[in-house]
Structure 1
Amino acid sequence: MTQDLQYWKSLKEEDDAQALKYFYDQYIKLLYKYGYHFCQDAALVEDCVQDLFLRLWEKRSTLGETNNVKLYLMVSLKRSIYEKVKKGSKTSTSEEVEDTFDITFTMEESMISSETDQINKEKLLKTLETLSGRQKEVIYLRFYNGFSPEEVSEVMNISNQSVRNLQASALKKMRSNMGDSLNLLVVGKMIESFFSNI
């Protein structure tokens, strides 16, 4: 995080092209993955990601302050994708576009160390697939990216309370499907394993 902020300052104040390259190298894969969860149009996502880095360079001297560059980039990309999707679809409402986050969860044999683990992971896998787009996004941002509820609210452009409600409803659904086998620490590790393979 400290290195990100040093490069951010360097980009803003010193017109440092190496700082832009650092952010590109550091976050390009994450941004593509994140973008694809909202829109399966690879060309549109690629355009939005490239536009994001082009804007960073062109507007470098007027960029705002941030304590979290990763968060800043994800928010900017999401906004850009939504704007393009809404422009291209006259039938989509804002709510429909907002709830488009989707992930197809998979499970690798290497993740399974016992029969109990396999049963729990299969239950978790089925449960994750039943979550709404917004619930999936909250789980993705909280467990995989490690964002706080406040940071998630910024990415998703919703209130902190809405983030907490979505997380609580997702975990409630997971608990009802998994019963006593649900341990949040274990679930967090399994979710991280799922997302790292997507």
Structure 2
Amino acid sequence: MSFDKAQPHLNEDALLWQGLSNGDEMAFDKLINKYFQTLFSYGIRFCQDRDIVKDCIQELFVELWNKRNIIQEPNSVKWYLIVAARNRIFREQTKWNKNQSLDADDYNFLFEYSIEKKIIEYADDLELAEKVKKALESLPPRQKEIIYLRYYENLDFDQISTVMDISRQSAHNLLQKAYKNIRSEWSLLICLLQMLATPYLR
């Protein structure tokens, strides 16, 4: 069945996945175009080698196409792709982590270098932007990552726990630690993150 003739009651991701399963190359291309930047923006925060990140994402989509007949449709296509991309990037960790450690906690996680520029667009306040940037940069990597997944990518705690390979309760606890670490700026930060909930890195 062609993507263009798919059932109208299904949402876009379901239609794209259905097209993928049926071997519809146009649906597959649309799926790539829709999520490549999201996956790249996430992956580049672990590994700053753009070529490695792009290769991992491309390999992910190639595998998805090759296994399209056996992979069941996930509850959330975005969540599924984020999990798969993260796992693939970490499998290549020895190529981008100078410490060559496979410790799940031994990684960096970067927010956008120019996040303050985005904030200024909304808040028109350089001092405010610097406060928010410093608050984010002060967090440990896993706390940065959970804020990114919760407020930038709008994943729920069940999805986050799968992405980060931790329990749902651990995800709650981790976010609570982030709250405490930037308590003075938290209300302001949440408001701004909700306004800025778009992929940053290009």
Return the TM-score normalized by structure 1.
0.84
Which whole-Å deviations, capped at 9, do the CAs of 1:107-139 have from their partners, x for residues lacking one?
1232324xxx65544322211111111001100
Output the amino acid matched with 1:131.
L
Deviation at 1:79, TM superposition (A): 0.5
Whole-angstrom CA distance in 2 between matches of 1:31 and 1:93: 21
Map of 1:187 onto structure 2: 189
2:156 to 148, 154, 175: 148
When residues 80 and 196 of structure 1 are mapped into structure 2, their CA distance, relative to the original with a 3 A threshold, is closer
Alpha-carbon offset, residue 190 of structure 1: 1.3
Q: Is the 8 A contact 2:136 2:144 kept in 1?
A: yes
Cα 1:148–1:88 change in 2 (3 A) is closer
- 1:144-171: CA deviation from partner (whole Å, max 9, x where unpaired): 1111011111111111111111110101
Task: Give the whole-Å Cα distance in 2 for the aligned partners of 1:163 and 1:121.
Answer: 27
Q: Which residue of 2 aligns with 1:110?
A: 121
Q: Does 1:126 align with 2:137?
A: no
Contact 1:75 1:155 in 2 (8 A): yes
- State the partner residue of 1:10: 19
- How many Å separate the matches in 1 of 2:71 and 2:95? 25
Query: Are the equivalent residues in 2 in contact too, given 1:140–1:195 (CA < 8 A)?
Result: no
Letter in 1 for 2:52: L
Return the offset for 1:197: 4.0
CA RMSD of aligned residues (A): 2.3
Counterpart secondary structure, 1:62: coil
- 1:29 aligned to 2:40? no
CA separation in 2, counterparts of 1:41 and 1:124? Answer: 26
Count residues with an aligned counterpart: 187
Per-residue deviation at 1:9?
Answer: 2.0
Contact 1:36 1:45 in 2 (8 A): yes
Letter in 2 for 1:187: L
Asked whether the 8 Å contact 2:105–2:142 carries over to 1, the reply is no
* 3-state secondary structure, aligned to 1:63: coil
Task: Confirm or deny that 1:66 pairs with 2:86.
Answer: no
Residue deviations 1:83-113 (CA, integer Å, cap 9, x gap): 111477684132344x432224531232324
User: Aligned match of 1:95 in 101, 104, 111?
Assistant: 104
Partner of 1:43: 51
Amino acid of the structure 1 residue aligned with 2:193: I
Match of 1:136 in 2: 144
Deviation of the 1:195 alpha carbon: 6.0
2:109 & 2:192 partners in 1: Cα distance?
A: 20
Instruction: Give percent identity, aligned residues only.
Output: 33
State the alpha-carbon separation in 1 of the partners of residues 28 and 78 from structure 2: 13
- Residue 131 of structure 2: SS of its match in structure 1? helix
